[in-house]
Amino acid sequence: MSRAHIISNEDNEASSPPLSVSPSTTRSIQSSLVNINVRPVANQQTAINMLMESLISRPSGTNPLDVNQRQQSIANQYRLQQQHLQQQWRGQLSQQGQPPQTHNNNTLSSASNCPKFLEGQNVFIDDCAFLELHKGDVYKAVQVLGGKLLKTFNNDCTLFVTPYQMGPNFERATLNVPQTRIVSLQWLEECIQTKQYMDPYKPCIHYPLVSSMGISNMSKLVISVTGFIGEERNDLKFLIKASGARYSGALSKKENTHLICCVPEGEKYQRALEWNILVINKRWLYDCVSEWNCCPEQYYSDINIYR
């Protein structure tokens, strides 16, 4: 490809592959819902809701399950599905070399250098939503920071840590708000980086993602950013990958579909206009992740509004 068709990579790193699970993986996860007749689903939470519907709405003439049996059956199906998903993710991660759940793997291990700002906090780590490669680091970080680890979720929980909005424990935690504060791994990381307990103030970063499987209608997007630095740039890169889109450090005429701009200036901005690449402000990405859907780009063309 001609050099004229590629604009330099501002953060000096190669384009990153998408972290979304492939359609074949989605189909195999769906097929693991044994003995339950469900239609295709976009994410695990939808599947869980449909499992509930199919278990409750059984044809007349069959022996109805009592409430405990229903709950146990749903829990068993969810565990099977989660195990399958974790196996698929581990396979993808071994090829891609990038974990989807944290910005920086080294941050959690630096917790020993922080004051014990989690003292007095009853912390529950939602095991079912974590990959094996993160569990040990998260447990250790919480203990080093003075938090009390709960083996099972209960109403005494003050801090519920999970990367995704899924599973029976997450549903129970939402019913226990504000006693229970629900936070993401990114929130824990930033607390460690700043060496203090802070209120979760970034809705898309400090709160768990909707799903681990990406936004279905963003999987073919290739997105670059320009004009952002430091923490804000890292946040945007993380959300691009979490959405299932591909992050591109450099801007390519052939590959890029979107450019997220901080200010309407610079070489990337000018070339994006010249190459008919969609130019939007950062609010577009935050709204996509918040709504878990690819929002119409025409409403986010004013670059200056969210500087």
- CATH number, residue 267: 3.40.50.10190
Cα 21 to Cα 216: distance, rounded to the nearest angstrom:
10
Q: What's the CA gap between 108 and 102, in Å, rounded? A: 9
Interval 74-127: pLDDT, tens: 556 555 655 555 555 444 434 433 344 444 556 777 788 888 999 999 999 986
The least confident of 3-7, 169-173, 289-293 is 3-7
pLDDT on residue 4: 66
pLDDT of 34 higher than 70:
no
Of all residues in the chain, the percent with pLDDT exceeding 90 is 46
Between 40-49, 234-243, 252-261, the lowest mean confidence (pLDDT) is in 40-49
* Cα 185–Cα 170–Cα 106 angle in degrees, nearest 5: 15
pLDDT of residue 108: 73
In this structure, the answer to whether residues 49 and 123 fall within a common structural domain is no
- Give the range of the structural domain holding residue 267, as residue numbers without chain letter: 3-19+214-306
Same domain, 75 and 133: no
Q: Are residues 82 and 150 in the same domain?
A: no
Average pLDDT, the chain: 76
Listed residues 177, 206, 235: the one ending a domain: 206
Last-in-domain residue among 206, 222, 244: 206
Position 9, amino acid: N
Same domain (yes/no): 115, 195:
yes
Q: What strands lie across the sheet with 181-183, from one edge to the other?
A: 148-149, 122-125, 159-161, 181-183
Question: For the residues 8-16, what does the mean pLDDT come to?
Answer: 59
What would the pLDDT profile of 119-167 be if each residue is shown by its tens digit?
A: 999 999 986 655 555 677 888 889 999 999 999 999 999 999 998 898 8
* Residue pointed to by tokens 């209120």: 199
The CA distance from 98 to 105, in Å, is 10
pLDDT at 74: 58
Same-domain status, 223 and 296: yes
Tokens representing residue 43 in the block: 């994410």
**Are residues 156 and 241 part of one domain?**
no
* Residue 233 CB neighbours (<10 A): 16
**Helical packing angle, 168-175 and 67-96, nearest 10°:** 110
232 and 201 part of one domain:
no
Report the residue count for the chain. 307
The domain boundary, picked from 96, 115, 131, lies at 96
Number of domains in the chain: 3
